[in-house]
Amino acid sequence: ELVLTQSPATLSLSPGERATLSCRASQSVSAYLAWYQQKPGQAPRLLIYDASNRATGIPARFSGSGSGTDFTLTISSLEPEDFAVYYCQQRANWPPNEFTFGPGTKVDIK
């Protein structure tokens, strides 16, 4: 079973600061990881797919990197609207056709 671990659980930063979020997979999943942003009371929004590709309409301050078991989401300079919870997600190699989400990292205002 694929398990995704995100760290830290909470990241307290100020607007304008750089945020670095980590996602680690329990098994190698190559480069096919996605990142989502969720604000309170809203549905998740796709930010990054295939580890490093920004989804449509996502600002350039969001970037993703990594492969294998270690992935990173970076927000280069936090805007007020970026304070939210971020989830990573992957489809496992085995069992196939099952999707897994990480537990999330909350980015809150320091």
Partner 1 sequence: EVYLLETGGGLMQFGGSLRLSCAASGFAVSSHYMSWVRQAPGKGLEWVSTMYSGGSTYHADSVKGRFTISRDNSKNTLFLEMNSLRAEDTAVYYCARGYSSGLGDAFDIWGQGTMVTVSS
Residue 102 within binding range of partner 1, rule CB under 8 A:
yes
76 DSSP 8-state letter: S
| Distance separating alpha carbons of residues 21 and 71, to the nearest angstrom | 8
Part in contact with partner 1 (CB under 8 A); list of ranges 17-25, 58-66, 76-84, 86-94? 86-94
CB of 17 or CB of 72, closer to partner 1: 72
> Which among 87, 66, 75, 71 is positioned nearest to 13, based on CA atoms?
75
Residue 36 within binding range of partner 1, rule CB under 8 A:
yes
Given 19, 34, 78, 84, the residue binding partner 1 (CB under 8 A):
34
N-to-C CA span, the chain: 36
Q: Which two tokens stand for residue 58?
A: 């996502």
Positions touching partner 1 (CB under 8 A) are 30-34, 36, 38, 42-46, 49-51, 53, 55-56, 87, 89, 91, 97-104
